[in-house]
Structures are given as C-alpha cells and as structure tokens.
Amino acid sequence: MSDQEVILSEHIGETLPAAIGRTAHDRLFVLTDETTLRLCWPLVEGLPCMAGARMITIGATDEHKTLESLAHVWRSLQEGGATRHSLMVCLGGGMVTDLGGFAASTFKRGMAYINVPTTLLAMVDAAVGGKTGINFGGLKNEVGVFNCARTVILDAGFLRTLDGANLRSGYAEMLKHGLISDATTWAELLRFDLDRIDYTALGRMVAASVAVKERIVREDPLEQGLRKALNLGHTVGHAFESLALSENRTVLHGYAVAWGLVCELYLSARRLGFPKERLRQTLAFVKENYGTFAFGCNRYDTLYELMTHDKKNTAGRVNFTLLSDIGELHIDQTATREEITDMLDFYREA
C-alpha cells in the first residue's frame, strides 16, 4: 500500500489545486453526497482546477454506503469516460471517502483519488489510512480494500459547516486516539467544551489526533498487529451501529464508538485492571455528550452475533483491543460469552 500525503490546510483554494496538479490525470471527477454538494462544493466550485470536472452525487448518511451507491459511482465514471488515468476528488464525510475510495480503487483496476474530508470524523479517521469500503449484508464495512488516497487535505474551515451531532461523532474517534496514546492527551480531550467550540484549539487537536493514526498506520499499514489498536471501541460500536440500522434507528458512527469505548473500557478494567477512576471519568464524559444507546436484554443474542461477524475475529472468537491503562495496548484479546453479557449489563446499568 503506497504512502499518502496528509496536508493540514488553512487555504483550500491553494492546497487543492496544488494536489490536483501533482497527480497527472486525463479527466477529473468530484464525488459528493447531497449534503456536501449543498454546503461544501460551493467553497471550491469556482477554483480554476475544477473547470470541466464531472460531478457525481450520492445520497447522504450511512444508509447510502451500499452496493447500489457504489454501482451508481462506477456507472457514472463509465459514462463520463473515466480511465485508469483519471482522478477522483472525494469531497465529503467518512461515507463519501470510504465509498469513493473503494470505487476509485476498483474501477479499471484502480484510478487515483484525493480525499478532502469535510467532517471531523472523516478528518481524524475515515479519510486517513487507506481503508475503503461499503456496508453489505447488514454489516458495517463488510467489503472493501486497503488503498491510500494520493493526498488527504485537512482544512478545519469545513468544520464550521457541521452541526453539533456530527462534531461529536468525529470527536469520539479523537477520544479513542487519546486513550491509546497518553494520559495528557486524554485529559485534554475530556476538558474540551463541545457545547462552545474553540475552532482554533480544535484544529490543533485534530492535527495531534491525525498524527497518532498516521504513526500507527505507517508501522502497520495492513492491520496485522499494531493497527488493531485503532479498533478500540469498535467491536461493540459496530454491533450497536448494525443493530440500530436493522431497527431503522440509524446512529452516527462516532456515537456508536463512544458507547463502544465505555463497554470495552469496562472489559479492560475487568480483564486487565484498567483504572476504574479513568473508566468513571470517560463514562461521565460519554454520557454527558453522547447520551446512551437503548436496548433490552432480549437484544444480547443479536449483539453477540453481530460481534462474531467483526473482521478482526479469528476462529469464531470475538476479538477486542483492550487497555491495562491509557496508552498500554493489548490487541487480540478474546472474551467469553459470559464476559460479554456482563459487559452489556454494565453498560445498561451505567
């Protein structure tokens, strides 16, 4: 998997044309969803580098991260005369960068693409690191490939287009990065006021968060070892997401991850002695900012079954990334059915 260039930008009008200019191409395509077409495309539409660009738009939200949307993008590329020497700019949140990256990586066996993430979640997670894919068969990110964008442009100006819920969604991945890095970063994240956003401070924290992921991805690009640390909170979080999707009450990815962090830190405390006071502080922050995910004990079997489908599993065992303390990682940790039931009990009672 090739390296990708990650650019922290303060002037998208300069960085985007430069990135496009560095990537030789015969045709330029821009992928948006219905929301970013309305809110974000106008910020770059007038740039000379966009003259003649062919627009492709898909439905917004994770419900459209589907094979049908992927086929629509492939079809649009085909009808637009795309070749393996063409270039796609994915302008949007994590759904757009995941699906667009997959479409570009597979069309004509692969064309180049650039990610311009417009949500906090995409900036600190989805757009960086080369994971692409779609949901399939009721499961999150079930089909995809590892293939990095040529360039990822992180411009905090796009964050001002976000509502509070989408800011919190991305912030959950930053909280995860804090937990797997160091106590100072984690404590700073817990102190940040998500009701009164300091965008200057947030931009600095985004850069630090992306640096954590970049370092890990550089050491383990194909998730054979260390990169599994980035899955903290995701085994349970993806199960919550899939359950919500099946019940037509879609939740934002970051909210599911935040709830998953609470569950997996509890499992960490039970299995590896993760400090209970740090669990309590994290739980309080998540409860205040993300609320709770409601489910009854009659959904335990479904949640367990969803966890068994997680891509990190081996030999049918449910696999977790756990912590003995902040920054002290333990990958490939398994848990029994009884431990998972206890974990879900804790979450519902807490």
CATH of the domain at 145: 3.40.50.1970
3 state DSSP class of 305: helix
Mean pLDDT of 195-222: 89
- Please tell me whether residues 147 and 210 are part of one structural domain: no
- Please tell me whether residues 171 and 122 are part of one structural domain: no
Window from 23-37, 106-120, 134-148, 334-348 with minimum mean pLDDT: 134-148
Mean pLDDT of 268-276: 97
Residue finishing a domain among 127, 162, 197: 162
3 state DSSP class of 224: coil
Whole-Å CA distances, 191 to 66, 175, 195, 230, 307: 37, 11, 12, 22, 32
- Please tell me whether residues 186 and 293 are part of one structural domain: yes
How far apart CA 135 and CA 242 sit, in angstroms, is 10
Per-residue pLDDT tens over the stretch 246-261: 999 989 999 999 999 9
Q: Does pLDDT of 1 surpass 60?
A: no
pLDDT score, position 147: 95
CATH of the domain at 191: 1.20.1090.10
Residue finishing a domain among 162, 178, 206: 162
- Please tell me whether residues 103 and 170 are part of one structural domain: no
Banded pLDDT at 2 (limits 50, 70, 90): low
Per-residue pLDDT tens over the stretch 86-143: 999 999 999 999 999 999 999 999 999 999 999 999 999 888 888 999 999 988 889 9
Query: Which tokens go with 335?
Result: 């848990």
- Please tell me whether residues 36 and 85 are part of one structural domain: yes
Q: Does pLDDT of 161 surpass 90?
A: no
Torsion angle in degrees (nearest 10) through CA of 113, 116, 119, 124: 80
Residue finishing a domain among 142, 162, 182: 162
- Please tell me whether residues 190 and 325 are part of one structural domain: yes
- Please tell me whether residues 228 and 245 are part of one structural domain: yes
- Please tell me whether residues 68 and 181 are part of one structural domain: no
Strand-pair partners of 112: 87
How far apart CA 234 and CA 266 sit, in angstroms, is 14
In one letter, which amino acid is 47?
L
- Please tell me whether residues 246 and 321 are part of one structural domain: yes
- Please tell me whether residues 246 and 142 are part of one structural domain: no
- Please tell me whether residues 214 and 93 are part of one structural domain: no
- Please tell me whether residues 188 and 328 are part of one structural domain: yes
Q: Which domain holds residue 267?
A: 165-349
The model carries a pTM of 0.85
3 state DSSP class of 248: coil
How far apart CA 163 and CA 161 sit, in angstroms, is 7
144 and 106 in contact (C-beta within 8 Å)? no
Mean pLDDT of 20-29: 97
How many structural domains does the chain have?
A: 2
130 and 4 in contact (C-beta within 8 Å)? yes
End-to-end CA distance of the chain: 42
Query: Which tokens go with 127?
Result: 């757009």
Q: Does pLDDT of 51 surpass 70?
A: yes
In which element (H, E) is residue 242 found?
Answer: helix 234-246
